A = this chain, B = another copy of it.
Amino acid sequence: MMIPVVCIVGESGVGKTTFLEKLIAELKRRGYRVGTIKHNVHGFQLDKPGKDSWRHARAGSDVVVISSPGKLALIERLERELTLDEVAARITGVDLILAEGYKRSDKPKIEVFRGEGGNELLSTPDKLIALVTNQPLDLDVPQFDPNDAASVASLLEAHFLHGSDGR
């Protein structure tokens, strides 16, 4: 069964990660297992120079895994960027995947919005399932205050987590 994927989109600096933190914490309180995806266009450096796993990667290893009792990390070299669906397919054992970014994907979206200076929404109406804003817009879509992660969690439950046991 496909794990549902919902994107949290919004202009840079609008508070996507802050809202996502609250939403993750709320979903965890309700007993769900949650996966998250962060889209990073600039590349990143995770491993520390000199570590054995870093030396594996430097020597040319295509996939480096570090396995410890409480945590597993996998770092994979890619020849091209994966699509959101391909990334989501790597995630197992969760009830819901929340992706930060991916505004051009065809997944359902929650947009975090700050209506200053006449900005327009990034999302098209057909994919927008909720708007997180402190300044309600005249739009036919559920709207929530940025501090009301609980109501957004309830909306996600109703849409995507029905039947999940919420351990």
Residues of B with C-beta under 8 A to A127: none
Q: In the complex, how many angstroms separate the beta carbon of A55 from the nearest chain B beta carbon?
A: 6
Q: Is the CB of A34 within 8 A of B52?
A: no
Copies of this chain, count: 2
A74 interface residue, CB < 8 Å from B? yes
Q: Which residue of B lies closest to A37 (CB)?
A: B65
Q: Is the CB of A62 within 8 A of B34?
A: yes
Q: How far is the CA of A53 from the CA of B87 in the complex (A)?
A: 15
Q: Which residue of B lies closest to A65 (CB)?
A: B37
Q: Is the CB of B64 within 8 A of A38?
A: yes
- Main SS at interface, chain A: mixed
Q: Is the CB of B69 within 8 A of A56?
A: no
A162 interface residue, CB < 8 Å from B? no
A67 touches which of B17, B39, B92 (Cβ 8 Å): B39
- Can you name 28 A-B residue pairings with CB atoms under 8 Å? A17-B52, A17-B55, A33-B62, A35-B63, A36-B53, A36-B56, A36-B63, A37-B66, A38-B56, A38-B66, A39-B68, A40-B67, A43-B69, A43-B70, A56-B100, A62-B94, A63-B91, A63-B92, A63-B93, A63-B94, A65-B90, A67-B81, A69-B80, A70-B78, A71-B75, A71-B78, A72-B76, A72-B87
